[in-house]
Amino acid sequence: MKPLHVAVLMGGTSTEREVSLNSGRMVAEALRRAGGMTISEVDVRGPEFVLPRGVDVAFIAMHGLFGEDGHVQQILEDRGVPYTGSDASASAVAFDKILAKECFVAAGIPTPDFVVLDGDLSAVEEMRWPLFVKPARQGSSVGISKVANREELIQAREKARKYDGEILVEEFVKGRELTVGVLGGRALPVIEIRTDHGFFDYDAKYTKGGAIEEVAELEPAVVARVQALAVRAHECLSCRDVSRVDVMLRDDGQMFVLEVNTIPGMTENSLLPKAAKAAGVSMESLCRKLVEMALARRPEMAAV
C-alpha cells in the first residue's frame, strides 16, 4: 500500500504570506518526522494552484485572505480533495469579524460591544473609550488600531479601509488576554498573553520578545469556564477539527470572546502548538491528528 500523500498548502496572497510560509514549512517538517507519509510543499500563489498527482489530503497552513476565508476550502471541495480544518462556509463566517460577532450575540456568547462603522461617526458616540478599530476581514491584527479619541478614530478608519471596506469598532475590555485551542472538539490548556505593546498587535505576535505566552495561572474553576466558553464559540460558528479562540477575562470574572481563528499559526512557537505541548501533544502528533481528522471525512481513506 502506498504511503499517504499529504500536500501542505502555504504562502498565499495575503499580507500574512511570510507567516504562512513559516507555518507550512514547520507543518511539513513535523509530518515528515511523524513518518509514514509522503509530504509535498505547495506554495499557493492564486486560485489556479496545482496539487501534485496522487494527493490524498491537503493540510491548509495559509493565513489571512484566500487562506482562512473559505476560498481555498471551496476550491478543494470542488476538486474533491479532503482538507484540514473548517469547511468553506464556517471559515468565511469565522474570518468575518462582523458576521462572527453577530453569531455570538445570537447565541448568547458574551463578546465586547461593537458597531459597524460607516461614513457617519455618530454610531460610536455612546460607546466607551478606548475603542478598537478593525477591518472586518483580516488576520494577525493587520490594520487594527486602538484609539482614545475622535481624531484617532478618523485616522484608524482610514488605515482599516486600506484592508477592507467594512470596519468594526469594538469596545476595549480591560483584563487578562487568554487564548484557548480547541482540538477535535475538546479545549486545550489556556494560554495567557502578556505584552507591553498596548495590545497583541502584529509586531507583538511575530517579533521575538514582543509578548510572553505561557499557560495561564488560573483557578481550576476559571479554567473550566474559559475552556467551556471557547468550545461554545467554536461550535457556534460550526468550526471543525481545530481552532484558537481569543478571550478576555475581566477582573470581575466576566469573560468575552474576541474571535475564533480557524487556521492558527503552526510554528513551534505559535500559540496552538504551545497549548498542545502543554497537554502532552507534540507538534508531530498534532499535525498527524489534523490529517487523520481530514481523512475521516473520506471513508475509503480513513483506515490508512
At the top level of CATH, which class does the domain 113-171 belong to? alpha beta
Q: Which three cell numbers stand for residue 251?
A: 477582573
CATH among 3.90.1150.10, 3.40.50.280, 3.40.50.410, 3.40.50.20 for 4-85+285-301: 3.40.50.20
Considering 70, 246, 270, 288, which one is annotated as catalytic?
A: 246
Report the CATH number of the 174-262 domain.
3.30.470.20
Residue 163 annotated among the catalytic residues of the structure? no
Q: Which of 22, 91, 140, 145 is catalytic?
A: 140
E strand map for the chain: 4-11, 37-44, 57-60, 114-117, 131-135, 145-147, 167-171, 176-183, 186-194, 212-215, 242-249, 255-261
Query: 194 catalytic, yes or no?
Result: no
Q: Please list the ranges in the chain whose pLDDT falls under 70.
A: 1, 119, 139-141, 196-211, 299-304
Encode pLDDT of 79-121 as tens digits: 999 999 999 999 999 999 999 999 999 999 999 999 998 767 8
Catalytic residue status for 246: yes
> What pLDDT, on a 0 to 100 scale, did the predictor assign at position 195?
74
Phi, psi of 158 (to 5 degrees): -65, -40
Report how far residue 17's alpha carbon sits from residue 23's, in angstroms, rounded to the nearest whole number. Answer: 10
- The residue annotated as part of the active site, out of 41, 69, 241, 259, is 259
| pLDDT recorded at residue 118 | 77
pLDDT at 299: 57
Asked about 83 being catalytic, the answer comes back as: no
Predicted TM-score (pTM) of the model is 0.90
For the chain, domain boundaries: 4-85+285-301, 113-171, 174-262
Q: Is 285 a catalytic residue?
A: no
Which residue in the list 83, 163, 202, 206 is annotated as catalytic?
206
